[in-house]
Amino acid sequence: MYVYIFFFISEMMGMLKQILANQMVIGEKLSTLEANQTVIHSKLEFFGEVQGTLIHNQGVISEQVEKLSHDYVDKSETLAQNTLLRECKVAIKKVERSVCLMTGELRDDALDEVARMLPINTLESVLEVEEKLKEPHFAQAMTTYCHKLKGTSEEVDGVLRNLFTDTLLESFNWDGRGERQALAKLDVIEKVLRGK
């Protein structure tokens, strides 16, 4: 019976040693698992911080894009308004210049040249004026001069007497019948006085 007890104790001791060895392996594995969990936990904290930073940065980027978009719209509107303003200023200058030319408040070389050429007294002078009327600036100056002569009335008699001398008008009639030249075919009449 002692043998049997000894054998039993010996068997129990072996089992206890085996259990102890297994517990040591499990303890090591638990330590490794705990270490891994610590690493995972620290990485999760890091990813949480990174995610917070990303969310913050996305908010900043979103605000900047919105501001840029708003600024772009404002700049487009400002550019459009500036363009319109420049166009208005140019139009105002043109109107102002035309009014000043008509009222005589502004001197103009082309207008002075027209005044020097009138009244036309020879056929050669008629040809010279007709040639000069091909220049847009001169034609505009002649039109302005004639409007000043005409004033508010619709009468062209006074304008014709300022454009041509009586002696020269004897060589013309309206449609050029007979030996006379056609007054109606002259550009100074057709384009300037009649505006065609």
Q: What is the pLDDT of residues 81-125, one digit of tens each?
A: 777 767 776 776 666 666 665 655 555 676 777 778 788 888 888
pLDDT of residue 184: 77
Share of the chain above pLDDT 70, in %: 80
User: What is the residue extent of each domain of the chain?
Assistant: 72-106, 107-193
Let me know if 117 is exposed, middle or buried by CB neighbors in 10 A (0-12, 13-18, 19+).
middle
Q: What's the rounded mean pLDDT across residues 144-151?
A: 76
φ/ψ of residue 6, rounded to 5: -60, -45
Token pair for residue 31? 């330590």
Q: Give the DSSP H or E segment for 181.
A: strand 181-182
φ/ψ of residue 23, rounded to 5: -65, -35
Whether the pLDDT of residue 185 is over 70: the answer is yes
Q: What's the rounded mean pLDDT across residues 123-132?
A: 86
pLDDT of residue 89: 67
Query: pLDDT averaged over the chain?
Result: 78
Burial string for 19-46 (b: 16+ CB within 10 Å, else e) reads: eeeeeeeeeeeeeeeeeeeeeeeeeeee
d(C-alpha 73, C-alpha 77), whole Å: 6
Q: Where do we find the tokens 């002569």?
A: 149
Q: What's the rounded mean pLDDT across residues 147-161?
A: 71
- Count of C-beta atoms within a 10 Å radius of residue 1: 5
pLDDT of residue 98: 66
The SS3 of residue 182 is strand
pLDDT of residue 102: 60
pLDDT of residue 55: 86
Q: What's the rounded mean pLDDT across residues 153-157?
A: 66
Token pair for residue 178? 């007979």
Token pair for residue 153? 């009335």
Angle at the Cα of 21 (from 19 to 22), degrees rounded to 5?
Answer: 65
Whether the pLDDT of residue 54 is over 60: the answer is yes
pTM of the predicted protein model? 0.43
d(C-alpha 26, C-alpha 85), whole Å: 86
pLDDT of residue 108: 63
pLDDT of residue 97: 61
- Count of C-beta atoms within a 10 Å radius of residue 152: 4
Whether the pLDDT of residue 149 is over 80: the answer is no
pLDDT in tens, 5-49: 777 788 888 888 898 888 998 989 888 888 888 888 888 788 778
